[in-house]
């Protein structure tokens, strides 16, 4: 009897390998990947916006592909893959502004290696939307990989340079996560109800932002400062300078959290290099971290602007409900203009100009509406 039971358990594991229990969102994509892991093709393209957790899912999929039981979560393959130390799992991140031709050559050479431990070699290529001159070199490798190599390619979108590569891959789509899903995930992480709701509201569909807000009160304060801006700014120029300073120092404090995480990552990286598990140089790591920090600051600022816009949207809703018609139409017009102005500045800011100058200009425009 006990033999039958073991077989049943084994069958159940095949249907739902335990490694996937830690995947909390994108259940559609996860379902597809569980099936793909039974008989993988040579290349997968994960397409979806930044910050929705494509990297984590790619790592779980890679782990499932090196485990003989498609992700049992307990074997040596799973253990090493989870700790980023599996010899047959190669992760390539760009070191400059794009994946370089040299990096592409290294990937091509590495993909020709025979697997050392698992039955296949898995190559995860991140930030693939940045591929430029390196595309032709990689295309050849991805088109004709050795039979036991699987590529997992991550990109924000299928750019014109990626169309040919995309046509050689099985595409897996990732969308933004709904506020409700984010709320559920935060609650299951153990975040207290009201805080979880507030974090979900400012997440803009990004689990990383929601999680960060739930752990880092400074990050949250940026949003609170932004929402308070309409009460702070007047036509007096001093109030604008003061509010800008307040926002800039809130941004400094919020990004301090990232700096600390990066210092920790650099320490762990030294250890991985010493053990021969990473070939990324320290200089390249620091360069990547610098770029990430800059991006993080911009994302925090964009999130703050979204909070400011949400303040005006709330005003708009309450002006519609207001019994005082004349006052209501004045508030409504003001709120609509403010939302429009914030939207314009958000677009400009995303193109990376002078932060201080723009914040001041935005507050000046908004103060003119009073
Ligand atoms: Zn395993």
> Each residue of 276-292: pLDDT tens digit?
767 678 888 888 888 88
CA distance 27 to 187: 17
Task: Tell me how far the alpha carbon of residue 34 lies from the centroid of ligand 1, in angstroms.
Answer: 14
Task: Tell me how far the alpha carbon of residue 68 lies from the centroid of ligand 1, in angstroms.
Answer: 6
Task: Tell me how far the alpha carbon of residue 71 lies from the centroid of ligand 1, in angstroms.
Answer: 5
Q: DSSP character for 365?
A: H
Q: Across the strands, what pairs with 149? A: 121
Q: DSSP character for 178?
A: P
Task: Tell me how far the alpha carbon of residue 42 lies from the centroid of ligand 1, in angstroms.
Answer: 20
Task: Tell me how far the alpha carbon of residue 2 lies from the centroid of ligand 1, in angstroms.
Answer: 23
CA distance 111 to 123: 7
What pLDDT, on a 0 to 100 scale, did the predictor assign at position 352? 64
Task: Tell me how far the alpha carbon of residue 89 lies from the centroid of ligand 1, in angstroms.
Answer: 14
Residue 6 binned pLDDT confidence (cut-offs 50, 70, 90): very low
Please give the model's pTM, rounded to 2 decimal places: 0.71
Q: Across the strands, what pairs with 125? A: 92, 153
CA distance 310 to 302: 12
Task: Tell me how far the alpha carbon of residue 147 lies from the centroid of ligand 1, in angstroms.
Answer: 21
Q: DSSP character for 257?
A: H
Percent of the chain beyond pLDDT 90? 35
| Terminal CA-CA length for the chain | 79
Task: Tell me how far the alpha carbon of residue 84 lies from the centroid of ligand 1, in angstroms.
Answer: 14
Task: Tell me how far the alpha carbon of residue 325 lies from the centroid of ligand 1, in angstroms.
Answer: 66
Under 8 Å between Cβ of 183 and 196: yes
Task: Tell me how far the alpha carbon of residue 66 lies from the centroid of ligand 1, in angstroms.
Answer: 8
Task: Tell me how far the alpha carbon of residue 69 lies from the centroid of ligand 1, in angstroms.
Answer: 6
Residue 5 binned pLDDT confidence (cut-offs 50, 70, 90): very low
Task: Tell me how far the alpha carbon of residue 11 lies from the centroid of ligand 1, in angstroms.
Answer: 15
What pLDDT, on a 0 to 100 scale, did the predictor assign at position 212? 82
Sign of the Cα torsion 59, 93, 298, 132 reads negative
What average pLDDT score do residues 304-323 get? 84
Task: Tell me how far the alpha carbon of residue 65 lies from the centroid of ligand 1, in angstroms.
Answer: 9
Task: Tell me how far the alpha carbon of residue 19 lies from the centroid of ligand 1, in angstroms.
Answer: 8
CATH class given for the domain over 2-173 = alpha beta
Task: Tell me how far the alpha carbon of residue 262 lies from the centroid of ligand 1, in angstroms.
Answer: 30
Pull the structure tokens for residue 159: 């750019």
């Amino acid at each position: 009897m006990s033999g039958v039971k073991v077989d049943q358990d084994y069958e159940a594991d095949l249907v739902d390998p335990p490694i996937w229990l830690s995947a909390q969102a994108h259940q559609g994509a996860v379902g597809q990947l569980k099936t793909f892991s039974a008989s993988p093709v040579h290349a997968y393209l994960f397409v979806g916006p930044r910050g929705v957790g494509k990297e984590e899912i790619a790592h779980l999929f890679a782990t499932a592909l090196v485990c003989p039981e498609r992700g049992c979560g307990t074997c040596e393959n799973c253990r090493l893959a989870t700790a980023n130390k599996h010899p047959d799992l190669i992760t390539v991140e760009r070191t400059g502004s794009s994946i370089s031709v040299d990096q592409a050559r290294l990937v091509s050479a590495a993909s020709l290696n025979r697997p050392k431990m698992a039955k296949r070699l898995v190559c995860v290529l991140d930030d693939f939307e940045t591929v430029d001159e390196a595309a032709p070199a990689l295309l050849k490798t991805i088109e004709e990989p050795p039979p036991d190599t699987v590529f997992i390619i991550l990109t924000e979108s299928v750019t014109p340079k990626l169309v040919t590569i995309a046509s050689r891959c099985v595409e897996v789509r990732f969308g933004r996560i709904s506020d409700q899903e984010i709320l559920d995930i935060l609650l299951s992480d153990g975040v207290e109800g009201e805080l979880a709701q507030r974090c979900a509201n400012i997440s803009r569909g990004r689990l990383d932002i929601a999680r960060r807000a739930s752990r880092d009160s400074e990050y949250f304060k940026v949003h609170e400062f932004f929402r308070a801006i309409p009460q702070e700014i007047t036509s007096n120029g001093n109030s604008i300078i003061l509010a800008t300073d307040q926002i800039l120092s809130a941004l400094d404090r919020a990004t301090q959290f990232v700096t600390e995480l990066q210092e920790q990552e650099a320490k762990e990286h030294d250890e991985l290099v010493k053990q021969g598990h990473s070939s990324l140089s320290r200089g390249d790591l620091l360069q990547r971290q610098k770029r990430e920090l800059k991006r993080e600051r911009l994302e925090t600022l964009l999130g703050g602007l979204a909070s400011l816009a949400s303040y005006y949207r709330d005003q708009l809703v309450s002006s519609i409900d207001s019994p005082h018609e004349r006052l209501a139409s004045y508030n409504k017009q003001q709120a609509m203009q403010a939302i429009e102005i914030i939207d314009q500045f958000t677009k400009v800011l995303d193109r990376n100009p002078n932060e201080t100058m723009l914040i001041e200009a935005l507050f000046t425009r908004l103060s003119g509406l009073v």
